Amino acid sequence: MRKFLALALFLTSATIFAQGTITGTVIDSDMDAPLPGANVLVVGTNAGGMTDFGGKFSIQTDRTSGVVEITYVGFEAIRVPFTVQNGQTVDLGRILISPDADALEEVIITSYSIAIDRKTPVAVSTIKAEAIEQRLGNQEFPEILKSTPGVYATKGGGGFGDAEIRLRGFDSENIAVMINGIPVNDMENGRVYWSNWAGLSDVTRFMQVQRGLGASKVAVPSIGGTINIVTKTTDAEKGGSVLYSLGNDGYNKVGATLSTGKMDNGWAATVSGSKTEGDGYVDGTQFSGFSYFVNVAKELGEDHELSFTAFGAQQEHGQRQNAEQLITYRQSESGTRFNRDWGYRDGQVVSIEDNFFHKPQISLNHYWDISDNTKLSTVAYASFGSGGGGGFGGVNKFGLDSKYRDGFLQPVNLDLIVEENVELGALGSETYLRASRNNHEWYGLLSTISSEVVENLEVTGGIDVRYYEGEHYTELTDLLGGQYVFDDSNVNNPLNTAQVGDKIDYYNDGLVGWLGAFAQAEYSKDALSAFINVAASNTSYKRIDYFRYEVGNQETEWVDFFGYSAKGGANYNLTDTHNVFANIGYFEKAPFMNAVFLNNTNDINEDAENQKIFSAELGYGFRSRNFRVDLNAYYTKWDDKTLTETFRQEDGTFGSANILGLNALHQGIELEVNYRPFENLTLNGMASIGDWTWENDVTGVAVIDETGEFLREVNLYIGGLKVGGSAQNSFAAGADFEPMEGTHIRLNWNYFDSLYSDFDPARRDDPTLGQSYEVPAYGLIDFGLTYNFDFGGFDATLIGNVNNVLDTEYISVARDSGFFYGFGRTFNIGTKLNF
């Protein structure tokens, strides 16, 4: 017995002493950046793991020699031999892994302005396709960012696609949103309508939030930051997937993706489509949408590649446009789901306020490797928008206590309105439904050339050309039983008896031209990387009004505004784990169209001013095998925010004022932490503490009439008031636990504080009003489960999410006019089969 124990002890000791450790860092050769999530395996054994946030790995093995294999989707597999002595650690150093030549991957650095970890000196958070697929469920697309520092994302009024997002206190007009490097902010007003991009969640490859100045080379309105969405390209492998999901309130989604992979003739194609529909969480917000994505790519020799992409999301949905007072929700049978903007007609749901739109985007990309050091990327693109938002016209019969509701705070009985219009007969409809149409055509060209002129110094330059035509009018959509609607708004047809489909109220075109150029020099050597970027643009506006003016006098001249930006920054890697960065910038942006043409007329505001923005930022990063920290502080000064006031006088003339000196200061600190204490457990946390304040009162602004005569004085009392509309402080914590291979359990907590009601500074002319209403702070808990399994030879995934698990009641949007409550407990479950 003693001999047996001694032999066992000897064998055990030998095994222990034979164990060694292999370490290394996997580097993306194109980006020269760490590659997290790569699979590392000792060939012929079960010893392996994945690289951490910094691309590092550590594997224990009982072999004294062998081969380590490293794989990652879209990259060529690589094998590295090793030799290790008993009990020692062998570091294989930096291991370069290259993109798969057959993957038809585009030049995302040049084209898409992607920030690179420990190199690009900006504060950035990246969300990958896997996280979007697992966590989004039936939430709105921007809500995937709600645990990102500085971000406040809501569902707005609660309609499908009506999400709103703010970044560091700035709304979408001042956040640059780019899809594959192409700007998508509306060229007339700078806004982003997420309902136009409802299908992006299915085809997003990754999503970057670059806070502050951002890494974009073109001149874009990145006061708060840049949201850069990169869609999937043609998949390297042949195959596809089908998916189905369901959720609360009749939510249903079905979709499929198919890819040819790269064929022998060099062609490759990927097609994806999905259909989504449901009743909506909020009363009267039923929705239906179809999204699609097509990418076709072709290699032309060794140095050229063409890639054609088209995607869009045709949708229609009911809306909740009217924010209500809190007592209204309390008195309503529907509670926080209450919506006054819908009713019944002939027993069918009718949305009094709705939205319908289709905005396909088409692009053709050409990539040319001119030489080993020089690359040219060019994209020509077009977008065609058609649709609008519904509402009513004529007499307002939709008050909360009107006789046209079957009881207080009940849906509207449209049958009663129809009966009255029928009785009016030849007098026409007293109340009717209409749609504010906003059709447009948008064409653009973005070309970028990049060259390493000398060792370690890369110079990039390019042009950005855009042209936009927007068509705006009111369309009569439903007479509600009447014979016509009398409309005298068109001076060329003042006795119009309008029928369904006719234009009424207003009809005008907005034309916008954009010509921009940019240049950047980037130095990178060893631990130091730095850049300087300059950009300039000329924005031209023109307006054509077909109703207010007689033929021959309907068109204005072009009005030009010159804007520019200059920014720079540097990152220094103190060690393999520590880095610091800083950036600074200044830019001027043109006012939006409504500030150039006053009161929706062709009257040109000759004194319209550029807005002026200064920004600076400091940051620190830490990367180790299982721990990652990002900490930064920012300072953004916004001067002369566009604000114009137009006043109608008793004699019919107009007075106007350009209210300059409207300044705001946005400053704060942001912290993001990721920690993996065990291989199967990942913890993450976020803290964002902001101080966003209007700096000063604006007093003594003179209002003059069309002849230059003084009419009145404007005084705005906003100094020291908090910027409203976004939670100034936010915190998040989450955990992802993998109890067994392929199964993930997720728990996330978000907390929002210091949310003040959004208000119009132009209405703050009373010094006694004081601070706007502060919404009670609130916290939300979300739960998720992902299970990967084999189903009949298919790789299958089951995904479930429950949002707001505790059914917390909270106000998500606050305005001077009223409030919107956020959603209570919601759920979604879906499955996906890959083949």
Which H, E and C letters describe 241-273, residue by residue? EEEEEEECCCEEEEEEEEECCCCCCCEEEEEEE
User: Who contacts 273 (Cβ-Cβ below 8 Å, separation ≥6)?
Assistant: 255, 256, 290, 291, 292, 293
Contact 660, 639 (CB under 8 A): no
How many distinct helices (H) and strands (E) make up the chain? 7, 51
Residue 674 has a pLDDT of 93
Residue 781 has, within 13 A of its CA and on its CB side, a CA count of 7
Distance CA(161)–CA(138), nearest Å, equals 11
Q: For residue 60, what are the contacts with CB-CB under 8 A and spacing of at least 6?
A: 19, 20, 21, 22, 47
Q: What is the spatial distance between Cα 629 and Cα 211, in angstroms, rounded to a whole number?
A: 16
Residue 473 in contact with residue 503, Cβ under 8 Å?
yes
Q: How many CA atoms lie within 13 A of 795 on its CB side?
A: 6
Residues in the chain where the model's pLDDT stays below 70:
1-18, 30-33, 37, 53-54, 72-75, 99-112, 233-237, 646-656, 703-709
Report pLDDT for 156: 95
pLDDT digits (tens, 9 = 90+) for 584-597: 999 998 889 988 99
Q: What residues does 59 pair with on adjacent strands?
A: 22
Task: Record the pTM.
Answer: 0.87
Length of the chain: 835
| CA angle 142–567–146, rounded 5-degree value | 15
- The span from the CA of 14 to the CA of 36, in Å, is 34
Query: What's the pLDDT at 11?
Result: 37
CA distance 648 to 186: 29
Contacts of residue 419, defined as CB under 8 A and 6 or more positions apart, other chains included, come to 481
pLDDT digits (tens, 9 = 90+) for 427-437: 999 999 999 99
* DSSP per residue, 47-111: -EEE--TTSEEEEEES-SEEEEEEE-TTB--EEEEEE--TT-EEEEEEEEE-B-GGG----HHHH
Tokens found for residue 329: 């929700």
d(CA 802, CA 825): 7
- Residue 578 contacts by C-beta under 8 Å, 6 or more apart in sequence? 620, 621, 622
Question: 661 is written with which tokens?
Answer: 């000196």
Report the C-alpha gap between 337 and 770 in whole angstroms: 31
Q: Report yes or no: 424 and 460 within 8 Å, Cβ to Cβ.
A: no
| Rg over CA atoms, the chain | 29
Q: Tokens 């509701």 correspond to what residue?
A: 405
Long-range (24+ apart) CB contacts under 8 A made by 243-247 are 243/274, 243/830, 243/831, 243/832, 243/833, 244/830, 244/831, 245/137, 245/138, 245/799, 245/828, 245/829, 245/830, 245/831, 246/828, 246/829, 246/830, 247/137, 247/138, 247/278, 247/826, 247/827, 247/828, 247/829
Amino acid at 381: Y
Q: Is the dihedral of CA 410, 414, 415, 419 positive or negative?
A: positive
CB 246 within 8 A of CB 121: no
Burial of 453 (0-12, 13-18, 19+ CB in 10 A): exposed
- Which pairing describes strands 225-231 and 175-179: parallel, antiparallel, or unpaired? parallel
